[in-house]
Chains A and B, each alone.
Chain A
């Protein structure tokens, strides 16, 4: 079993839609939960991180963590064509870092 599993997509939505991206993880010892955005052939870009259960909001992005279910989500409101990218969830505990395989998102104008 992988440490973190991510819905692979691809996901295609119309502009303005609310997007939900999801990951599950296996180890309750994980401390930090991150979301990265990666454009084609570029390095991942940190969007948000959190370490507690609940919601964390930053502009159009909301990260949600449910530690009891070992489930993390990223919501994108009012999605824009510029949001078209691959989204990676990531988790870490102390000295190990695990990334999901990414969900490819396309926002259609």
Chain B
């Protein structure tokens, strides 16, 4: 158990809908990272927050947004969902902002029908 928690574990929704994925980092970690993992693309970095501020942005679509709250938990919002958004979404956390020692949560499996 990495100490990173993600909810929900599974999510099934329809195209065009909006969902929110939640992540609680390990105690003491200030950075949160979001990733998307699909069979054809592998693990893709979406976005990083450090102590409430956006620190780095990867291949995140405009339909996706994230935030980190004062208690350091983070939410990833996915809107106008498409079939291609079906994937595993992972959250990771680290103490600092360099990202070389990330601890991953168990993931949320999103299925868009």
Residues of A within 8 A of B (CB): 31-32, 34, 36, 41-46, 49, 51, 88, 92, 94-102
Q: Which residues of B sit under 8 angstroms from A32, Cβ to Cβ? A: 98-100
**B58 and A44 contact, CB distance less than 8 A:** no
A97-B33, A99-B43 known; A34 vs B58 contact (CB < 8 Å): no
Q: For the complex, what is the distance from the CA of A31 to the CA of B35, rounded to whole Å?
A: 20
**A88 and B100 contact, CB distance less than 8 A:** no
A95-B55, A97-B58, A102-B42 known; A44 vs B104 contact (CB < 8 Å): yes
**A101 and B42 contact, CB distance less than 8 A:** yes
Residues of B within 8 A of A (CB): 2, 4, 33, 35, 42-45, 48, 55-58, 88, 90, 92, 98-107, 109
A43-B4, A43-B105, A43-B107 known; A92 vs B43 contact (CB < 8 Å): no
Q: Which residues of A sit under 8 angstroms from B42, Cβ to Cβ? A: 99-102
Q: Which residues of A sit under 8 angstroms from B101, Cβ to Cβ? A: 34, 46, 49
Q: For the complex, what is the distance from the CA of A101 to the CA of B38, rounded to whole Å?
A: 10
Interface residue from B4, B88, B99 paired with A97 (Cβ < 8 Å): B99
Q: Which residues of B sit under 8 angstroms from A42, Cβ to Cβ? A: 106-107
